[in-house]
Amino acid sequence: MSDITVREKNKKISQAKRVTLIINGEQRNLEIGHLPHQVETTHTLLHTLRETLGLTGTKLTCDNGACGSCTVLMDGKAILSCMTLTVECGGKDITTIEGLKDRDTGALDPLQQSFIDHTAFQCGFCTPGIIMSAKALLNENSTPTEVQVKEALSGNFCRCISHYQVVRAVMAVSEGGA
Amino acid sequence: MRSFSHLNARTVSEAIAALVQFDGRARLNAGGTELFGALKDEFLPEYPEAVINIKSIKGLEYIKEEKGHLRIGALTKLSVLSESRLLRERYGALAEAAHAVAGPQIRNVATIGGNLCQDVRCCYYRYPRHIGGPINCARKGNGPCLAVNGDNRNHAIFAGRKCFAVCPSDTAVALALYDAQLVVVGPQGERQIAVRDFYTPIENLLQRTEIVREILIPAVTGTVTQSFSKFALRTPIDFAIVSVASLITLEDGICTDARIVLGAVAHNPHRALEAEEFLRGCRLDVEVSRQAGEFAIREAKPLSKNAFKIQIAKTLVSRAIFGQPAGFVLKGNFSETTSSTQMCSGKH
């Protein structure tokens, strides 16, 4: 062990120059640096999505991993983009709220339509995060129970108390749902 | 966040080499759910020069059974642990503890190594720079512990010394129950530290140039009943106010061995030795479990505002022993389990 360490002491790892990731089905090749079009090492995925790429559907609220507003899908799983560095997303497949619509026709995802049909929001600021968390659940389990829906959405807060309509909207698109 | 260099380590030794290169002024990043909170709030006296990504290290994400041990890679995600069939069947307290951490988005990225090494949640220690902090305190090596005369509702009720912040890790409580060891690697090679001894009142025992590689759990054998329950108010964001893990061996209804560990009551996972001693040889019933709860908190010395934790600890211990679902305790979402306390028993 120590032999390897001594040998590798001289072999410094260098900082990456680029990060390539897929965002909403499109490959993005981002430069790492300090210029306006570049990604800083300190930038969170949330910052890159909103400020560098203009995908403002993902919302910034607490910026501390508590509220769930910034939820996006990474390789199909719900994660918090405010606690993820963009430079660590190399090779990942990211889906934001903008990526849910049908890419050819532009039609909304049934889940999005269900939120509209059930008026599952009030001010709507938390809605993109909630929809992404619900999408992650439905990707894994197309027939969740109400308990599972509530559990999957437990990391998303809504100050307007839209939860009741949200649960109904998600249950409506679950295959066994209402 | 203020600027830092960013490196992707491909192997454990690369990560150690990078830590040595920055002479302790670098931080390892796995899930990032704790680290970036700390870097955004800038409450620590030192800001790291570099962040070393260890997610890029291959082969540190596993749950393996071998030679009387269960081995868990340090980068194994909490969501994987909480859904693991093996853990649910034989190490239920750990599966439940992993599930009790935060919300689904955090469990999808947070790792067990990171959960064990996270910093405390004391409201003085973590007071952010951008709203008038940071605040100096005993833990930062500068002044007294402010919680002693201040807001200490979430602080230690056992064995407080210097810093009264509690160990925030839920998985540490379950791992202390199993007598698990951390396998830690540094420039001098490998060493093992018992999870129970890992936390001191001021810091954990991980050196600035070391990395946790693996968690080693002695196999659980015999017919045992185990449980983990956590009391918290807003479960997806709140840390435990009190948690309890228990491992009880029963023969013909008589308790032949008991282990009880309390979480969030001291700087480390707190073993309730008196209660364990009392339970050995007892036939379990409501009265015995109530008495065990009393024994578990006998040594407690609460601060000015946290005596309420004693009542919670007592109740959680007695419910853990007699296996009653615990009212306010975090709900497990194992599809087949609706009770709050995950009970499991197995013969092997």
Domain ranges within chain B, ordered by starting residue: 224-322
The DSSP bridge partners found for residue A71 are A80
Using CA coordinates, name the residue in chain A closest to B56.
A88
**Residues 6 or more apart whose Cβ sits within 8 Å of residue B149:** B304
User: What is the structure's pLDDT at A175?
Assistant: 73
The predicted complex's ipTM stands at 0.92
Mean pLDDT of chain A: 92
| DSSP helix/strand/coil, B243 | strand
In Å, the largest CA–CA distance within chain B is 62
What's the CA gap between B47 and B6, in Å, rounded? Answer: 14
Name the residue among A58, A68, A77 with its Cα closest to residue B237: A68
Contact assessment for residue B340 and residue B232, using Cβ atoms and an 8 Å cutoff: no
For residue range A30-55, list pLDDT tens digits in order. 999 999 899 999 999 999 999 999 99
B chain contacts of residue A88, beta-carbon cutoff 8 Å? 6, 8, 29, 32, 53, 55-56
Task: Give all strands of the β-sheet with B69-73 in edge-to-edge order.
Answer: B63-66, B69-73, B211-218, B181-186, B189-194
* Closest by Cβ to B33, choosing from A14, A65, A148: A65
Q: Take residue B322 and report the two structure tokens written for it.
A: 């007699």
**Residues 6 or more apart whose Cβ sits within 8 Å of residue B164:** B122, B145, B147, B148, B152, B155, B156, B201, B267, B303
A chain contacts of residue B232, beta-carbon cutoff 8 Å? none
Segments of chain B with pLDDT less than 70? 323-348
User: Which position has the token pair 């833990």?
Assistant: B139
Burial of A116 (0-12, 13-18, 19+ CB in 10 A): exposed
| DSSP helix/strand/coil, B87 | helix
| DSSP helix/strand/coil, B256 | strand
**Residues 6 or more apart whose Cβ sits within 8 Å of residue B287:** none
Q: Where do the DSSP E strands lie in B122-219? A: 181-186, 189-194, 211-218
CATH topology of domain B224-322: Enolase-like; domain 1 (3.30.390)
B chain contacts of residue A84, beta-carbon cutoff 8 Å? 32, 109
| One-letter amino acid of B194 | A
CB contact under 8 A, B18 and A63: no
Length of chain B: 348
CB contact under 8 A, B36 and A44: yes
CB contact under 8 A, A78 and B187: no
Name the residue among B105, B60, B100 with its Cα closest to residue B230: B100
Ordered by start, the domain boundaries in chain A are: 16-99, 110-173
Using CA coordinates, name the residue in chain A closest to B19.
A9
Burial of A133 (0-12, 13-18, 19+ CB in 10 A): buried
Domain A110-173 has CATH 1.10.150.120: yes
What's the CA gap between B111 and B182, in Å, rounded? Answer: 14
CB contact under 8 A, A68 and B5: no
What's the CA gap between A34 and A32, in Å, rounded? Answer: 7
CATH topology of domain A16-99: Ubiquitin-like (UB roll) (3.10.20)
A residues 112-171 lying closer than 8 A (beta carbon) to B: 133, 136, 147-148, 151-152, 154-156
User: What is the structure's pLDDT at B223?
Assistant: 80
Number of H helices, E strands in chain A: 6, 5
Query: DSSP secondary structure string, A110-156?
Result: HHHHHHHHTT--SS-SSHHHHHHHHHHHHHH-SS--HHHHHHHTTT-
User: What is the structure's pLDDT at B323?
Assistant: 62
* pLDDT at position A3 over 80: no
What's the CA gap between B17 and B26, in Å, rounded? Answer: 11
pLDDT tier, A176 (very low <50, low <70, confident <90, very high otherwise): low
For residue range B264-323, list pLDDT tens digits in order. 999 999 999 999 999 999 999 889 999 999 999 999 999 999 999 999 999 999 999 886
Contact assessment for residue A70 and residue A110, using Cβ atoms and an 8 Å cutoff: no
| Angle, alpha carbons B182-B183-B189 (nearest 5°) | 145
